[in-house]
Amino acid sequence: NAGVTQTPKFQVLKTGQSMTLQCAQDMNHEYMSWYRQDPGMGLRLIHYSVGAGITDQGEVPNGYNVSRSTTEDFPLRLLSAAPSQTSVYFCASSYNSGLAGGSHTDTQYFGPGTRLTVL
Amino acid sequence: GQQLNQSPQSMFIQEGEDVSMNCTSSSIFNTWLWYKQDPGEGPVLLIALYKAGELTSNGRLTAQFGITRKDSFLNISASIPSDVGIYFCAGTSGNTGKLIFGQGTTLQVKP
């Protein structure tokens, strides 16, 4: 298994440009999520999906869109990039969410990250 | 929203010393996870805890799920230079199922 993969690894955008960050997993995980990591703030949840066709907002969803047409893929779209979106973005997946109670099936595994700079 | 308070924020220790860091929450969590992040990489899972009171070891690492379900600690014994990195606690609650992260503890080890 490749686990969780993300592309690109690095990206530089100009303000107002759009782009899509790709995330894929080959572990047949139902739950996928996107986080951004900023210095001193840990990881903050942007959007998440509990299964194909279902998405929901996290803590910091503004400026980002997601879709989940397949179990494997969960792309993150920036429609009009802003300097405030300069960050490191991580995708993660788990077999299910933590709503069912604590178990190994809700343990999330992370991709290597995409480092995005918006000028 | 839910928050995890992780401490200390940073640590600078001598090789061979033991390390302890902890996380606390104002709400109950179902799962406590400890991740390590190396520079330029994504977080890697170290230890996962699923039951209140659970004590789990992974090599030189030991973590416990607090009996109140509102806290957890991670201990590293006999630290070595490759322990350097950022350690994050994270937890999921029954209210949302979402993973909430602490702010991280940056560990530096002096050879």
Q: What's the 3-state SS for A11-72? A: EEECCCCCEEEEEEECCCCCEEEEEEECCCCCEEEEEEEEECCEEEECCCCCCEEECCCCCC
- The predicted structure's pLDDT at residue B91: 87
**Interface contact B89, partner A, CB < 8 A:** no
Q: Which residues contact A92 (CB under 8 A, 6 or more apart)?
A: A4, A32, A33, A34, A35, A108, A109, A110, A111, B99
Q: What residues of chain A lie within 8 A of the CB of B94, using their CB? A: 98-99, 101
**Interface contact B110, partner A, CB < 8 A:** no
Partner-chain residue, chosen from A104, A106, A109, that has the shortest CB–CB distance to B92: A106
Neighbours of B59 (CB within 10 A): 9
Give the pLDDT band of residue A105 (cuts 50, 70, 90).
low
Tell me the average pLDDT of chain A.
90
Q: What residues of chain A lie within 8 A of the CB of B88, using their CB? A: 42-43
Please give the Cα distance from B61 to B79 (Å, whole number): 10
* Torsion (CA) B64, A44, B104, B32 in degrees, nearest 10: 0
Q: What residues of chain B lie within 8 A of the CB of A38, using their CB? A: none
Longest dimension (CA), chain A: 43
SS3 category, B111: coil
- The predicted structure's pLDDT at residue A82: 97
Q: Which residue type, as a one-letter code, is found at position A28?
A: N
DSSP code for B30:
S
Please give the Cα distance from A69 to A61 (Å, whole number): 19
B8-62 pLDDT per residue, tens: 999 999 999 999 999 999 888 888 999 999 988 899 989 999 899 999 999 999 9
